[in-house]
Amino acid sequence: MSPLWKKLRSDIRTDRRRLLLTILALALSLAGLGTMLDVYAVLIREITRNYRETQPASASIEVDDVSASLVDEASRLPGVAAVERRRAINARVRDGADWRPLRMFVVDDFAHLRLNTFTREDGALSPPTGTLFLERTAERLMGLKTGDTLTVRSPNGQPMAVRIAGMVHDAGLAPSEQERTIYAYASSETRQYLGESGGFDELRVRLRPEFSDRTAIAAKCRELVTWLQARGHTVHEVRIPPPGRHPHQGPMEAVLRSFIGFGAMALLLSSVLMATTITALLAKQVRQIAIMKAIGASRGQLAVIYLALALAVGVLAVLIGVPAGLAGARPFERQIATLINFTLASQSVPSAVLLFQVGIGLLLPALAAIWPIWRAVDLPVRVGLADQGEPAPAPGPRLAPASARWMVALPRWTLAWRNSLRRRLRFALTLTLLGTSGAILMSAFNLRTAWQEMIGRVYTERSYDVSLRLREPEPVTALMTALRGLPFATRIEAWQSMPVAFHQPGEVPVVSVYPDGGHGAFTLYGVPTETKMVAFPLRAGRWLRAGDTRCVVLNHAAHALRRGLAVGDKVSLIVEGRATEWVVVGLVEEVGSAAAAYVPNAEFPGQGAGPDRANLLRIASNARTPATKADAIRRIEAVLEQRGMRVTLGLPLAELQTAMGQHIAVLISTLLAAALVMGLVAALGLSAMLSMGVIERTREFGILRAVGATPGDVSWLVVAEAMAMGLIGLLLAIPLSVGISLLLGRIVGLTAFQIPLPLAFSSAGLLLCTGGLLLLIVAAAGVPARTAARQTVRAAFDQI
């Protein structure tokens, strides 16, 4: 072996601890980035595959009646790949003493599903009359399983006992516990058994692959509508969900991308750590390099040796980090898949993703080392031979006289602070590591606090805590008479509501609603102009007021459907197939709601509507606990039922809050995991920095021991340096966390609510970060402090 390579081998042996720390830091950050990349690649592939395997309909056309022959005819139309008929009924299911929403899909032929398919998990091949299939996440929400008997009440029926004939997996729906709704599948016979008459009213259509984007689909749907209308059918609405995308795919992608950003940040910081390690290693070798150059080694020969070291570090980091990333990704993928209710057919990571990680792992350390290596091998021989091997003195020839006062008052801290500043680049790197990891940790808690504040707006902007939907509009006077005297109801308002769509003249309205009826919905509300039940923040214009005519207020989600709209613009809305004209007077922010438009109750359009009718009750009660609220709902329903007024949905506001809270849990824990990775990288980096400093200051510690410092004093000095850096790192983390929190809040908020989350500070996060930082410092400084304490006094007497 060439002496140069032998030298490299002995250098590695000499500095093995520092190099090991650097390798670990690189491997850890590579694992973190790898985990995020692997998860992203696998989940995007699998969620897309899961969703596509359900054969999602390109569009669902709401028609007065869909016969089997109509389905047959439609399936032969140009551009149409498959057609099926369905019907969705919003029923209710008993959950203890309360009723829970149950969305029931009436399926034409269970044996030959063509669109929006689901796979049977257990039970019968198709549900007999009087039974239902349930989507499997019903078990998570209500603990239901095959064989259980439910009490189901459809809008026009009586409570009926229904057995669960089997569980199915429908990858096209969000999980029940997130939507707080049970999804069921029934035959036409069961529909009749439950008291619902009528046939199918949805024509679900899958178009050929050339109709892949929404514009093309909408254009084709207009042709279908024309064809249907030509056959005397009334078309109410066309629903086109985002093509090929699961309802929760967008939020998941946005969040995962931000996590990839964090992983990349950790890797970048580790690379800078690599550069500093190489710099420190080379600082010890300046004289040796000068000697080698003096006896004939070229810069290129020397540079190759040290680049080989950097490459070796990268190889080891890759060998550890990439498999670790894969191992970390697997449970994470399973957790997300369970959360979003899809099945992982494969967790294999595309080889391109793995190759990318290997390439980054090898390239970054080498790139980080190039400049320090070149700087070291390019030093003139004369300069190198004269090198003393000591770190550079503190900057500046003179300090202010007042600085001595610090030495009197706080001698150990003064010494620690001055030592920290000697290597500015290293100091800056350590601060960056500490600050960034602390910032991410605080941001995770800030995000949780911001989310909770956002959810809290559900309460602060709404003064009702119970909402009841009626089967059909009822006279307001009758409602108020029935509910008068209820002791727990402090205020009752009668509203009206109806699905709505923006109207394009000459066209059937198109909305982006998913089959679950929730995602993408757009609702028109008729409200008392002086309502006390809602107080949404205004983005522009004003709320409704007495005397308003043909005025409408849109919430932000509705405004997103027609972004060009401004206050003062005219807008046309389709309600029950009729176009109605309005003027936009205000735009509001409404957390926790899909698209909504608000008009004066007196002008609410729609059949059976009118200023003196209502199909939606908002009730403020003095019930404080979930149990008392549930009891309030039951009593109101009982009172109304006695008067023949059927309630189809009764929800406490808390359910909305629960649903929103479900979505954030995985996000927060993933962010905390990312913060943990960054923290570990910071700990390794800090330990490496401190170790380098201790080794470089062997003689200095000997001097301290010679003038009377005990091993404990020296050890404490190293810890004090670490704490000084930690304190500054913490101070740096706070403003950094503001930026990260704002960024994350924007990503998450816009994805979830179409509103950025507010900037919120978590005192728990700050305390945890401070405590975590202290622990990290103690852990990182432990070994270097012990090493420093073991430096002998004799080192002070030694020549260089």
Partner 1 sequence: MKQLVHAEAIPSPAFHEPPTSSLRPFISLEAVTKRYPGANDGDIALRAVNLQMEQGGLIAIVGKSGSGKSTLLHLLTAVDRPTTGSIHVNGSPVHELDETAGALWRRASVGIVFQFFQLLPTLTALENVLLPMALQGHIPANAREARARELLARVGIADQAHKLPATLSGGQQQRCAIARALANDPPLLVADEPTGNLDSLTAEAVLLLLRQQADAGKTVVVVTHELDIARVADRVVTLADGRVVADKVRTSTPNAGVTAR
Smallest distance, Å, CB 381 to partner 1?
Answer: 24
Separation of alpha carbons 426 and 414, rounded Å: 19
Which of 149, 158, 343, 792 touches partner 1 by CB under 8 A? Answer: 792
Which residue's structure tokens are 């596509």? 52
Q: Is 486 in the site for partner 1 (CB under 8 A)?
A: no
Smallest distance, partner 1 to C-beta of residue 392, A = 9
- Is the Cβ–Cβ distance between 435 and 729 less than 8 Å? yes
- Is 637 a residue that touches partner 1 (CB under 8 A)? no
Binder to partner 1 among 397, 487, 505, 564 (CB under 8 A)?
397
Which segment (65-73, 345-353, 538-546, 703-711) binds partner 1 by CB under 8 A? 703-711
How near is the Cβ of 699 to partner 1 at its closest, in Å? 7
Work out how close the CB of 725 gets to partner 1 at its nearest, in angstroms, rounded to a whole number. 15
Alpha-carbon span 655 to 180, nearest angstrom: 7
In the structure encoding, which two tokens stand for residue 169, read together? 């997996």
Q: Please list the alpha-helical segments (H only) found in 85-239.
A: 138-142, 176-179, 188-193, 214-230
Q: Applying CB under 8 A, does 423 fall inside the site for partner 1?
A: no
Strands 501-502 and 570-575: antiparallel
In the complex with partner 1, the residue whose CB is nearer, 396 or 487, is 396
- Report, in Å, the least distance between residue 421 CB and partner 1: 8
Among 190, 285, 419, 615, binds partner 1 (CB under 8 A): 419
Residues 365-394 that bind partner 1 (CB under 8 A): 390, 393-394
728 binds partner 1 (CB under 8 A): no
- Position among 257, 484, 491, 794 found at the interface with partner 1 (CB under 8 A): 794
Residue 513: CB atoms within 10 A of its CB come to: 23
> How far is residue 272 from each of residues 262, 430, 685, measured CA to CA in Å?
15, 10, 10
**How, if at all, do strands 551-555 and 578-588 pair?**
parallel
Widest distance between CA atoms in the chain:
106
Among the residue ranges 216-224, 527-535, 685-693, 708-716, the one whose residues contact partner 1 (CB under 8 A): 708-716
User: Nearer Cβ to partner 1, position 225 or 283?
Assistant: 283
Instruction: Note whether 711 binds partner 1 by CB under 8 A.
Output: yes
Measured from the CB atom, the residue of 601 and 791 that comes closer to partner 1 is 791
Helix axis angle, 424-460 to 763-789, nearest 10°:
160
Classify residue 756 by its DSSP letter. Answer: P
Q: Which of 353, 706, 732, 742 binds partner 1 (CB under 8 A)?
A: 706
**Stretch binding partner 1 (CB under 8 A), from 22-30, 56-64, 304-312, 405-413:** 405-413
Question: Which of 338, 414, 452, 529 touches partner 1 (CB under 8 A)?
Answer: 414
> By C-beta, is 461 or 700 nearer to partner 1?
700
Tell me how far, at minimum, the Cβ of 790 lies from partner 1, in Å: 9
What are the residues whose beta carbons fall under 8 Å from the beta carbon of 329, sequence distance 6 or more?
34, 35, 38, 39, 42, 347, 349
Cα separations in angstroms, 69 against 47, 72, 499, 766: 34, 5, 28, 66
Told to check if 424 binds partner 1 by CB under 8 A, we report no
Residue among 398, 312, 431 nearest 362 (CA): 312
Regarding 568 and contact with partner 1 (CB under 8 A), the answer is no
DSSP β-bridge partners for residue 122: 167
Pairing verdict, β 131-135 and 182-186: antiparallel
Alpha carbons 779 and 323: distance in angstroms, whole number = 26
719: amino acid identity, one letter? V
Write out the binding residues for partner 1, residues 683-702 only, by CB under 8 A. 699-700, 702
Residue closer to partner 1 by CB (options 652, 784) is 784
| Minimum distance of partner 1 from residue 794's CB (angstroms) | 6
380 Cβ neighbours under 8 A, 6+ residues apart? none
State in angstroms the smallest separation of the CB of 706 from partner 1. 5
Q: Is-contact 504 561, C-beta < 8 A?
A: no
Looking at 410-418, 429-437, 590-598, 718-726, which segment touches partner 1 (CB under 8 A)? 410-418
137-166 per-residue burial string, b: 16 or more CB within 10 A, e: under 16:
bbbebbebebeeebebbbbbbebbebbbbb
Token pair for 94: 């008993």
785 part of the interface to partner 1, by CB under 8 A: no
Smallest distance, partner 1 to C-beta of residue 396, A: 7
Type of residue at 233? H
From candidates 214, 418, 471, 646, binder to partner 1 by CB under 8 A:
418
Contact 635, 451 (CB under 8 A): no
Size of the site for partner 1 (CB under 8 A): 43
3-class DSSP string for 281-303: HHHHCHHHHHHHHHCCCCHHHHH
CB-wise, 583 or 793, nearer to partner 1?
A: 793
Residue from 1, 111, 230, 409 in contact with partner 1 (CB under 8 A): 409
Nearest residue (CB) to partner 1, 350 versus 411:
411
Smallest gap from residue 398 Cβ to partner 1 (A): 5
Give the binding site for partner 1 (CB under 8 A). Answer: 390, 393-394, 396-401, 403-405, 407-409, 411-412, 414-415, 418-419, 421-422, 699-700, 702-713, 792-794, 796-797, 799
